[in-house]
Amino acid sequence: MGLDQYAAVKDENGEAQELAYWRKHNRLQGWMEELYARKGGEAEFNCVDLELEIEDINDLETAIDNNSMPETEGFFFGEDSYSEYEEYYKEDDLTFVSNARKALEEGRKVIYSCWW
């Protein structure tokens, strides 16, 4: 058990294709939870689709570059994901940003979801 996180692209037919997968990247989860709340989300942020727009991707890239994603705790989240961020997460996060930006430019939707 633990935090599993996914990003997917959806085409005009609603077909989803996996774009990224993370395991126990709690700081990314915290960043997405804050975004969900800013967009008006009120339910528990678990098994909820969060649509990401280009501004969100740009803000995420800034947070990655500045190592400013929030420290986030939770029973299923594991240890702080920044303890080994450079080694395990940063490159994948930046690859996700690049791929998400491309998908959005192509007119597809980018969705983040998690399960814990």
| Band of pLDDT at residue 73, cut at 50, 70 and 90 | confident
Report how far Cα 59 is from the mean position of its chain's Cα atoms.
Answer: 12
Backbone angles phi, psi at 4, to 5 degrees: -115, 135
Look at residue 28 and tell me whether its pLDDT is greater than 80: yes
Q: Scanning the structure block, which residue is given the tokens 């983040």?
A: 112
Look at residue 83 and tell me whether its pLDDT is greater than 80: no
pTM, full prediction = 0.89
CA distances for 78 relative to 51, 92, 106, 116, angstroms: 25, 18, 35, 11
Smallest Cα–Cα separation from 56: which of 41, 71, 43?
41
Look at residue 79 and tell me whether its pLDDT is greater than 80: no
Mean pLDDT of 35-47: 96
